[in-house]
Amino acid sequence: MRTITTTEDLAAFCTAAKSQPYVTIDTEFLRERTYWSKLCLIQMALPGKDGDAVLVDPILGTEMSLEPLYDLFRHTATVKVFHAARQDLEIFFVEGNAFPDPLFDTQVAAMVCGFGEQVGYETLVKKIAKENLDKTSRFTDWSRRPLTTAQAEYALADVTHLRVIYEFLSAQIAKSDRTKWVQEELRVLTDPATYTVHPDEAWQRIKTRTTSGRFLAMVKELARFREEYAQKNNVPRSRVMKDDALLELASTRPTNHEELGRSRLLLREGRKPEIAEGILAAIKSATEMKPEDMPRVDAGREQLQVNPALADLLRVLLKAKSESLGVASKLIASAADLDAIAAGERDVEALKGWRFEAFGDDALRLCKGEIALTAKGTEVRVIRL
């Protein structure tokens, strides 16, 4: 097996990849102790059972530039194949402001081809490549050097088996004429907004049942401070304060270090002077926030009047469509989508793009009483009225 540690060798491999119809790519990284993922290894393989497969080691290659890889990303004649690409793409977007074009994600394609929801790589290797993966290196520390032979073989298996999986799934997608479906899903993965976290919006990820404007203002300002501090210092959010501690502080609203010290949930890391000052400043800012500037939950969504009988019928329709199309039901519509449709909402993802073609059109017809559902044995059928 070959390990690349220089810009020159990486450029040579990427030049060779440009003459191929596709290249498979995967990464190994660590994120437990940092806000941004630490890239530890890149694996790539060219087509063919005996096609060239390499490890690109940015830890040993401290002077190596990844620009040849980003140039390959921009080479539109070669498809860049990943499995469950989101975290990989986030690394490349943050490191080099680059996205692979064109992109193929075998997890997305597998869901469209009926392999279930969020299907894992190991499952596809068994079902398509007819191989078994050695999982002993799965939870290894990829930042430590030297890598063992077992680690290197495990890493390369993530891209060598991927060749067989890609060729099978891409043929299935073309045969079923669902290329447009996959492309729509992949647009989200190559949208910078997917990976850009705005501190002002961080509060929206925190689950709370309280709708008080002042309480939400506290949550917003504390979440904003946490996000800014975590990004600036490259530490996990939880090292600043966990969600339960944030909600406790939003409720108790300490105004000085003595009151802050009484927090039951704030960890020792969060009591450091710099963080403590930031917490108190955030609470002060929320205290002084004008009512008209306070955040509000989406009251319209909270007060949806869901027709439960219609929601149940939509679930039956979704199951029938999922089975007949061979597509994972959660990829077509979520439970929240179905409830929203049953409540009269129409700005719903399940009613857009390929999902409208697969499910949304009949879902609206069902809501209007233009179709009915009937069962024959275990099969559910749609009847036009």
Q: For residue 46, what pLDDT band results from cuts at 50, 70 and 90?
A: very high
Strand 379-384 to 22-30 pairing: unpaired
Q: Return contacts of 130-138, CB within 8 angstroms, 24+ apart.
A: 131/161, 133/157, 133/161
Side by side, the strands of the sheet bearing 79-82 are: 2-4, 53-56, 38-45, 22-30, 79-82, 103-105
Give the mean pLDDT of 310-328.
93
CATH 1.10.150.80 residue window(s) in the chain: 213-293
Look at residue 356 and tell me whether its pLDDT is greater than 90. Answer: yes
Q: What is the pTM of this model?
A: 0.88
Q: What pLDDT is attached to residue 385? A: 86
Say which CATH architecture domain 213-293 belongs to.
Orthogonal Bundle (1.10)
Beta bridge mates, 373: 382
CB 30 within 8 A of CB 140: no
* Digit-coded pLDDT (tens) for 169-180: 999 999 999 999
In the block, tokens 């680059």 appear at 98
Look at residue 369 and tell me whether its pLDDT is greater than 90. Answer: yes
In the block, tokens 């989406």 appear at 298
Instruction: Give the dihedral of Cα atoms 278, 282, 285, 286; nearest 10 deg.
Output: -170
CB 81 within 8 A of CB 170: no
Give the mean pLDDT of 243-264.
95
- The fold adopted by the segment(s) 2-194 is Nucleotidyltransferase; domain 5 (3.30.420)
Q: Which two tokens stand for residue 291?
A: 């009512």
CB 193 within 8 A of CB 79: no
Instruction: Give the dihedral of Cα atoms 148, 150, 154, 155; nearest 10 deg.
Output: 10
Q: What pLDDT is attached to residue 299? A: 53
Q: What φ, ψ does residue 46 adopt, rounded to 5°?
A: -95, 165
Look at residue 368 and tell me whether its pLDDT is greater than 70. Answer: yes
- The Cα 75–Cα 156 span in angstroms is 23
* Digit-coded pLDDT (tens) for 297-312: 765 555 568 889 999 9
CB-CB neighbours of 220 under 10 Å: 25
Look at residue 135 and tell me whether its pLDDT is greater than 80. Answer: no
Look at residue 65 and tell me whether its pLDDT is greater than 90. Answer: yes
Q: What dotted CATH number matches 301-384?
A: 1.10.150
CATH 3.30.420.10 residue window(s) in the chain: 2-194
Q: Return contacts of 334-339, CB within 8 angstroms, 24+ apart.
A: 338/311, 338/314, 339/304, 339/306, 339/311
Q: For residue 1, what pLDDT band results from cuts at 50, 70 and 90?
A: confident
Beta bridge mates, 29: 39
Average pLDDT value over all residues in the chain: 93
| Listed residue (87, 72, 71) closest to 36, CA to CA | 87
Look at residue 211 and tell me whether its pLDDT is greater than 90. Answer: no
